[in-house]
Amino acid sequence: MALELVHSQSQPFAKVRGEPLLELPADLYIPPDALEVFLDTFEGPLDLLLYLIRKANIDILDIPMARLTEQYLQYVEVMRHKNLELAAEYLVMAAMLMEIKSRLLLPRPQAADDGELDPRAELVRRLLEYEQMKAAAQKLDRLPQRDRDFLAVEVWIEQSLVERLPDVHVPDLENAWRSLLARARLSRHHKVTRDELSVREHMTGILRLLAGGAFREFVELFDPLRGVAVLVVSFLAVLELARERLIEVTQSGPYAPIYVRIPAVAAETTDARS
């Protein structure tokens, strides 16, 4: 069947242990690993319906609604059973199919207007339209596509067009670099020296405070009265000390007070020396 060809040309539904899965067993049993992949390949309820119709060689212009609805519901049930994320549209379609089926079963009133449409007509129209677009999509994809199948040629232009870019010469670059260096030298000295000294100053201060080996509460190391900048520098000092294992920071539990001390061994050594 033409559509079957289109299906298998595009992609197999799934691969179970390396074998492409193109056919579903008649009794609807699907090995669990294959099921999710298989059902994932449907773009929606229309896609699934088309598959069922084509697979069973159903005449799309005269769909046996009971049979199709039953098959469709079985699939949806399997999907639900597997706890797969079911797009709401699948359930909406289930309801629609059942409604069409019941309308077909109802006896037609005597004075039925001639314009009474086959309840399946809208569904058939939608199925055909979707099938057409699906095929159109595949044909579109087969057209040569830029970047995938060919590249646009763009030869490198040696000199930019004058209007677009200002002329830059090597001496200009040299001067720019020189002034950058000069500025960097100034700020480097200025910034790093000050910060480095500050942190080291605080590190020494903290170590002096902790001399003797006693525990101190973390908050004791900070003096809020001296302003935020000092707090920050103090904190950096603590971090640096901790990193160099010059102090020990402990906390007995969440939200408990934090204690700081010089590590026991080191304290002894320092004491011995002083």
Size of the site for another protein (CB under 8 A): 48
- Mapping DSSP to helix (H, G, I), strand (E, B) and coil, where does residue 248 land? strand
Give the span between the Cα atoms of 186 and 184, in whole angstroms.
5
Q: Please give the residues from 150 up to 209 whose contact with another protein meets the rule CB under 8 A.
A: 150-157
Q: Is residue 6 involved in binding another protein (CB under 8 A)?
A: yes
Q: Please give the residues from 34 up to 93 whose contact with another protein meets the rule CB under 8 A.
A: 43-47, 60-61, 87, 89, 93
Residue 260 main-chain phi, psi, to 5 deg: -130, 140
Supply 32's token pair. 């669990």
Decide whether 27 or 59 has the Cβ nearer to another protein: 59
Give the span between the Cα atoms of 250 and 33, in whole angstroms.
51
Query: Taking the complex as a whole, how short is the minimal distance between the CB of residue 112 and another protein, in angstroms?
Result: 17
Give the span between the Cα atoms of 237 and 206, in whole angstroms.
8
- Using CB under 8 A, pick the residue from 27, 85, 116, 149 that binds another protein: 149
Point out which span in 66-74, 125-133, 186-194, 251-259 binds another protein (CB under 8 A): 125-133
| Nearest alpha-carbon partner for 238 in 266, 260, 216 | 260
| Nearest alpha-carbon partner for 65 in 112, 7, 114, 73 | 73
Point out which span in 141-149, 165-173, 174-182, 194-202 binds another protein (CB under 8 A): 141-149
Query: Taking the complex as a whole, how short is the minimal distance between the CB of residue 93 and another protein, in angstroms?
Result: 7
Q: Is residue 130 involved in binding another protein (CB under 8 A)?
A: yes
Q: Is residue 3 involved in binding another protein (CB under 8 A)?
A: yes
| Nearest alpha-carbon partner for 66 in 96, 102, 95 | 102
Give the span between the Cα atoms of 16 and 254, in whole angstroms.
51
Query: Taking the complex as a whole, how short is the minimal distance between the CB of residue 27 and another protein, in angstroms?
Result: 27
- Using CB under 8 A, pick the residue from 73, 91, 121, 239 that binds another protein: 121
- Mapping DSSP to helix (H, G, I), strand (E, B) and coil, where does residue 201 land? helix
Residues contributing to the site for another protein (CB under 8 A): 1-3, 6, 10, 43-47, 60-61, 87, 89, 93, 117, 121, 125-126, 128-141, 143-157
